[in-house]
Structures are given as C-alpha cells and as structure tokens.
Amino acid sequence: MKHTVQFLPDKRTITVDHGENLLAAAAKAGVYIHAFCGGDGVCGKCKVQLLEGELEAGNSAALTGEEINQSIHLACISSIVSDSTIQIPEIVQSDGRALKSKPKTTRSLSAESLEILVGEWQIAPPVRKLFLKLPPPTLDDNISDMQRLFREIKKHLPDNPEPDYDHPELIRELPFILREADWEVTLILLHGKGEEEPDRIIAVEPGDTTDQLYGLAIDLGTTTICGVLLDLNSGEVVEEGSGYNSQIGYGEDVISRIVYSQRSGGLRILQEKVVYTINTIIEDICKKIIINPSDISYIMAAGNTVMSHLLLGIDPKYIREAPYVPSVNQFPLTKAADLGIMAHPSVRLFLYPCVASYVGGDIVAGVHSCQMHKSDAITLFIDIGTNGEIVVGNKDWMVCAACSAGPAFEGGGIKFGMRASSGAIENFHIHGETFDPMIVTIGATKPRGICGSGLISIVPELLDAGIINQRGKFVRDHNHPRIRKGTDGWEYVIAWSHDSLIGEDIVITEIDLDNLIRAKGAMFAGYQTLLTSVGLSFDDLDRIILAGNFGAHIDLERAISIGLLPDIDRNNFFYLGNASMLGCQISLTDHRRFRERAEVRTLMTNLELSDNIDFMNHYMAALFLPHTDLDLFPNVGRGNE
C-alpha cells in the first residue's frame, strides 16, 4: 500500500510505502527537519505538526500533553499510515529571526523495472530429488543393490542417470542406507552439462526428503560476503545472511591480498579465511530456519577473479603482473566439502567464469541476470564496489573494464565508515544557515557510523552549504563548532558523542573526502575510457544499469552532483541491486538460464585500464566535485525533472 505525503511550507510531495518512517520520507523528499539523534526519540528536535491524515507514533517524553493535543509528532518515531499533510516548523534564532531551509532536488533509484530487466525464469534447478520405494532382495531376486536401484529408476525416468563415480562414498554407503531406510530412499540428481547428457546420481538419502531441496547463492565480495538460501522446489528465498570477508585483516583490496598470498603460507590462510566466512554465514542461516548444512544440495557463487582464485586456493600471483593473466578463466565444478565448506560431501559448488584478471564472475553474473546479451539497447552496466567493474554494449558486442575504486562505497577507508546495517547513517541533510545536520539511520536508532549511501548524501550537502570546496577541502574561515581541526586534520562533526550510539563524536574528515573523490574519480574515468574506446559518448547510451549493494538507498541527484554517475536523462537509470547475487539466484533456480552464462562471457572483451594513458587523463580530470569539465554536468544544481 502506498501513501502520499505533502510537506509544508515547501509543498513537497512524496509517495511512500505504508509504515515508512516520517523522518526518512522527509529526507527522501529533500525536506530538512532538525534531527540529531537519528531516530531515538530523545532529542526532541524533529517536531512536526500533522495537519491532515494519520500517523502511527511511538511514545516519547520529549512531547508535552499540550503538544500531543496539537497533533505535534516526533518525525523520527512516527510512521506514515495514510495520506497526510505535514507542517514543518520554522527554526527561530534567539534574536527572533526565522531561518528557512531550501528544499533539495532528490531522486531515488527505483527497482520497479526489475522484471523488465531480468525477465522470467522457470523452476528447474541444476539438482533435483527423486523418491523411490525399492522391493527388498530375495533369494529369487538377488541382483546387486546398484542394479536394483537402477531398475527402479527406469520406471520413473526415461533417460537413465549415471552414478557419480567421482564420489566413491556413494557406492560404499548405498547398501547401508538402503537397509536402514527399509528400501525407501531419495536420490539427489545433478543435471548433465548439456541437454543431451544424462543426469548423475550424486547422493542417496534415507526416506522421503523431496520437500527439503535447498540451494545456496553466494556473492563472494572483497569486503562483504552475502548468502541467500533458496527453496529449489518453489524458487523462493528462505533466508539470507552476510558478513565482512575475514580476509580484510590481510588487505582491504585484492592487490593487498595478492601480495599477502605470496608470503609463506599466505595463500592457505586467505583460502581458510574466506571459507570461514562462508561457513559462518551458512551456520547463521541454518540456525534461523532449523536445518542442517548437509540439507543444502547445491552452491552457486560469483566473485571477482582474485576472490575466485583465493577460494579455490589457486595462486593469483600473475593477475597483478603485466600482462595481467589469471591462472584460469573457467572454474571447475568443485565439491564444496573439499574446500572446507560445511556441506554434504556430494554438494557441488559452481563459480561463475571470469573474463580477465579484474573483470570477474560477479560482473558476468550481473550482466547475465539483466540480459544485456539479449537486448538491442546500448547499455552501460556499472557495479560499484571495492573493485568497480563496468560493461558497455548490447547483444552484438560488449566491452568491459575494471578500476580499483577502493572500499569507500562499502564503508572502508572512512574513519567512521561501516556496512549498511543498524545505526548506519544512510541519508543526510544540512541546514544552509545553521550548518546543523538532519540524520537518518538504518533502523531509526542513534548513529554509530556512515555507510556508502550515507557518504553519497553527506558530501554534496557539505559542498552545497559551502563547508567544503570542489576539491573536497574544508573552507577554513567558518566559525562553527561542527567545523574544526581534529586529530586527522579538518573535519565536520556529524553527531556529537551524546547523540551517537558509540559515545564519541562521529565526524567526516578531509581524508575521508579525499578517499571518496578518488573512488568516484576512478569510476567516472572508467566510464569515459570505455565509451571512448568504442567511439561512443554518454549521449549515445540508451540506459545505465546500476548494480551494487549500496545502490538501494542511493540518491541519484546527489550521486550525479559529485560526479559518481553521468549527467544524463534520469529516466534512463535503472537499479538492479546486488546483480552478482541475482545472477546466482537465477542460475540456481533455472538450469536453462544458467547455461546462457557461456554466451555472456564470450561476448565480453576486456580493456585493461592500469596502463591506459586515456584513463589516467580522465582520472585526473575527475578529481573534482563533480568534475573539472562542467560541460559534462549541465544539469547539476538544477535537477533534470
């Protein structure tokens, strides 16, 4: 259910979901509300008046009885449950002067077009189960256990599957399982590589377990690893989990990890750490729905080239050295248990193939999921993460590249950076005259850090208020307590210690700003270099598809205003979310769509940026907010409505 909310006196209107937090809705509408605590309901600064409609409000001692009678609410603890009109009070200074805050142009990326991009898929997973009731042997019918099994299979399947002779435990365990289960067993069948190849029997389970067919999709990120458990009988998501990649302690980016892998025992340690993270996610997911890890029948994973090498224990040394060649582009179907992953010995782990040293299976999975390989539209596909990856093209051709953006967009390298979890600042406004912030956090709690979407919100606000200049440096002549010189140089205080969950001031520093500018500069230079290489410009694009975890809450206008995204028609932007994960989920659900991955990879031609002079020139020009060439951003500051 949707509701329309109008904010006065700005006359800003926004449509939101039922139950949306009022403070978050105001921030999305570009309306400033005095709000320090992020949603804890204690500072009492975010008072608004309900003129029409209904709000579901939490209790707060910050409101008096008279205020409650006047329909005064705290925006941070109020939920929208009907069409409403909200009056935002003026901020009045001690001298009686009313301060006005100019509303901002904002625009969220919508996932409503997701079905158009990804199309449909069937429930036809790469593994399936078959329940059989076998007649027990007698003196007159004393064929072998395996023969007995196949005789019964022929009654159900026209194409006779083959036993998996790479799994000798199957033959060793079969006689005991059959007898302990009173000759009622369930087979797990793995689809053949091609339509003509027979299925393989990879496991036999006692009893009827056909209603327990689970698959795990894994996004093998450099900073964050995510897992989604699917019911392969229905295709529905059962549970999700995520965690920081434990390899971070040995390097925040893939280059640092390649270097560490060359130390004595380094490769083994990195492989163990990524497996440890995967196992932790599997344990957490299984505990939530009360199943065993052995109930998972297939694992589909995608990661960048380095992460894929490290998971399989393959030395990534030559990925870093010119001419930047990976050991392998297509990875073998691997038994998960052989890698140390908590799974039944029969469970296969499939890794999406990579294209080049820095364009990995995650980008192939993403392009695969949105069906660029079937579309006439010239598309720029952007996956923003620690290792930013870019693809431009359509069904006839694709050119791809990677640029090391660094972990800033995932909270890394930022003094108070964090993953997008409870307490992370995800939206932010600054009053143009008082320089006081409006803070919106995930979970509507006191702030404890800044996630990627929060960072994208904070920087343009600082720039628009004149607190920083276009080089990302603080303007030194402001006399304001929030703008100060700290232990790491100049900084802006986003939340004072008494308003934060961590008990210390949360700040954004000049070093943080520099890391962000470098990251967005690398991404934008990558777009330009890739388009120039095929004789195109931003004007030639039919659409831009944005992938990546933090995109769910990104403000499109702000991302363009700092030069992270091109300044083109906003209606041509599409948000795909975690495209790597989506590709894995589609492939895990439909083995026919899964087979298209080879076609996607074959279409993609890699352009190496590390020694590309054009890239370096574009990069240096992009180290500015939004860019040194403002002709590339004609609509910044005016919107594009």
pLDDT, one tens digit per residue, over 350-370 is 999 999 999 999 999 999 999
Q: Do domains 127-206 and 371-406+518-630 have the same CATH topology?
A: no
Q: What is the DSSP string of 248-267?
A: GGG-SSHHHHHHHHTSTTHH
Tokens of 125: 């997973």
- What pLDDT score was predicted for residue 97? 47
- Of the candidates 82, 100, 84, 83, the one whose C-alpha atom is nearest the C-alpha of residue 92 is 100
pLDDT, one tens digit per residue, over 564-576 is 999 999 889 988 8
The CATH fold of domain 127-206: Ubiquitin-like (UB roll) (3.10.20)
Question: Which residue type is seen at 153?
Answer: I
Burial pattern 233-262, b for ≥16 Cβ within 10 A else e, equals eebeebbebbbbbbbbebbbbbbebbebbe
Can you tell me the distance from the alpha carbon of 88 to that of 103, in angstroms, rounded to the nearest whole number?
12
Name the pairing type of β-strands 47-52 and 84-87: antiparallel
Q: Is the pLDDT of residue 110 over 80?
A: no
3-state helix, strand, coil in the chain (%, to 5): 30, 25, 40
- The four Cα atoms 516, 521, 522, 525 give a dihedral, to 10 degrees, of 170
pLDDT, one tens digit per residue, over 14-44 is 999 999 999 988 988 889 988 877 666 777 8
Which distant-in-sequence residues (6+ apart) come within 8 Å of 137 by Cβ? 143, 145, 148
Please, which pLDDT band fits residue 420 given cuts at 50, 70 and 90?
A: confident
Domains of the chain: which residue ranges? 1-92, 127-206, 214-362, 371-406+518-630
H or E element that contains 186? strand 184-190
Start-to-end Cα distance in the chain: 25
Q: Is the pLDDT of residue 100 over 80?
A: no
Q: What is the mean pLDDT of the chain?
A: 89
Q: Is the pLDDT of residue 413 over 70?
A: yes
pLDDT, one tens digit per residue, over 202-245 is 889 999 999 999 999 999 988 889 999 999 999 999 999 999 89
Among the CATH numbers 3.40.50.1860, 3.10.20.30, 3.40.920.10, 3.30.70.141, which is that of 1-92? 3.10.20.30
3-state secondary structure of 34: coil
- What pLDDT score was predicted for residue 112? 46
- For 278-414, list the strands marked E by DSSP: 296-303, 334-335, 348-351, 379-383, 387-393, 398-404
**Region 153-173: what's the mean pLDDT?**
75
- The four Cα atoms 599, 600, 603, 609 give a dihedral, to 10 degrees, of -150
Among the CATH numbers 1.10.510.10, 3.30.420.480, 3.40.50.1100, 1.10.3720.10, which is that of 214-362? 3.30.420.480
Among the CATH numbers 3.30.420.40, 3.10.180.10, 3.40.50.11810, 3.10.20.30, which is that of 371-406+518-630? 3.30.420.40
| Cβ atoms of residues 512 and 489 within 8 Å | no
pLDDT, one tens digit per residue, over 509-543 is 999 999 999 999 999 999 999 999 999 999 999 99
Percent above pLDDT 90 for the chain: 62
Please, which pLDDT band fits residue 641 given cuts at 50, 70 and 90?
A: very low
3-state secondary structure of 580: helix
Q: Is the pLDDT of residue 166 over 70?
A: no
pLDDT, one tens digit per residue, over 240-296 is 999 989 999 999 888 999 999 999 999 999 999 999 999 999 999 999 999 999 899
H or E element that contains 616? helix 613-621
**Range name among 128-137, 519-528, 546-555 with the lowest pLDDT average:** 546-555
